[in-house]
């Protein structure tokens, strides 16, 4: 059996390899874009589901949870598969072009492994962000099922959570772009509020 020291060393080597793969494949920038775009979509999904069911007069938390989780999971699975296929195609193309230029097989090289790790990781990030946001935003309705919250309050708390996520995403983008994080947060929040109002009044009309 491996000693604790050997296990820690193996873990450091493992994490070090992944860090090297991520740097070579330039994963960080792409992962940030995937995360923000899909977290934004996840927040909007919750806004749509909660406002739609609220306007329709739904007061059963199970319906809201099922609809919110169903939409979030569908988007998550679509994101995983779509990102995996797209990244695999692009990175396979780039690797083949490099192989052609170097006249050698790079599938089992450091570049080849970095390409495969990057593809899987980006697919994961693309898929996890919308369902994570959706789950966080519909959590109040689980509390309704447990009798800890009223349905009306859960609606406002859920909407508030989704909007808070949008504000946080805007601040995150502001930090990356080295702009005013509060202004960027308000911009993202304003987009969410505008879309929420459109969804709400569209639901009333329909």
What pTM was estimated for this model as a whole?
A: 0.79
Q: What residue segments make up the domains of the chain, in order of their start?
A: 28-205
Q: Smallest Cα–Cα separation from 133: which of 66, 62, 199, 47?
A: 47
Q: Is the pLDDT of residue 6 over 90?
A: no
Residues 6+ apart with CB under 8 A from 144: 61, 150, 151, 154
Which of 160, 144, 164, 146 shows the shortest CA–CA distance to 64?
Answer: 144
Nearest to 185 by CA among 193, 173, 195, 198: 173
Q: Of the spans 23-27, 117-121, 152-156, which averages the highest pLDDT?
A: 152-156
* Residue 154 confidence class, pLDDT cut points 50, 70, 90: very high
Confidence bin at 205 (pLDDT 50/70/90): low
Three-state secondary structure along the chain?
CCCHHHHHHHHHHHHHHHHHHHHHHCHHHHHHHHHHHHHHHHHHHHHHHHHHHHHCCCCCHHHHHHHHHHHHHHHHHHHHHHHHHHHHHHHHHHHHHHHHHHCCCCCCCHHHHHHHHHHHHHHHHHHHHHHHHHHHHHHHHHHHHCCCCCHHHHHHHHHHHHHHHHHHHHHHHHHHHCCCHHHHHHHHHHHHHHHHHHHHHHHHHC
Residues 24, 29, 33, 39, CA torsion sign: positive
pLDDT at 11 over 50: no
Written as six digits, the tokens of 48 are: 């749509």
- Please, what is the average pLDDT of the chain? 81
Distance of CA 204 to the CA centre of its chain: 30
Whether the Cβ atoms of residue 46 and residue 138 lie closer than 8 Å to each other: yes
Phi, psi torsion values for 148, nearest 5 degrees: -95, -15
**pLDDT range class, residue 143, cuts 50, 70, 90:** very high
Q: Is the pLDDT of residue 22 over 80?
A: no
């Amino acid at each position: 059996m491996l000693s604790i020291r050997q296990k820690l060393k193996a873990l450091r080597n493992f994490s070090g390899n992944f860090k090297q793969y991520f740097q070579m494949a330039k994963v960080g920038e792409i992962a940030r874009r995937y995360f923000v775009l899909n977290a934004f979509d996840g927040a909007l999904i919750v806004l749509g589901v909660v406002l739609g069911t609220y306007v329709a007069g739904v007061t059963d938390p199970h319906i809201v949870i099922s609809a919110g989780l169903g939409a979030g999971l569908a988007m998550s699975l679509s994101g995983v598969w779509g990102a995996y296929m797209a990244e695999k195609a692009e990175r396979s193309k780039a690797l083949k072009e490099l192989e052609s230029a170097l006249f050698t097989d790079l599938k089992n090289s450091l570049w080849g492994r970095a390409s495969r790790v990057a593809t899987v990781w980006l697919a994961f990030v693309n898929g996890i962000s919308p369902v994570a946001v959706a789950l966080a935003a519909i959590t109040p309705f689980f509390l309704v099922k447990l009798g800890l919250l009223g349905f009306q309050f859960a609606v406002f708390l859920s909407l508030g959570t989704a909007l808070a996520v949008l504000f946080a995403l805007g601040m995150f983008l502001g930090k990356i772009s080295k702009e005013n994080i509060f202004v960027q947060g308000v911009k993202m929040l304003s987009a969410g509020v505008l879309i929420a109002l459109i969804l709400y009044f569209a639901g009333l009309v329909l």
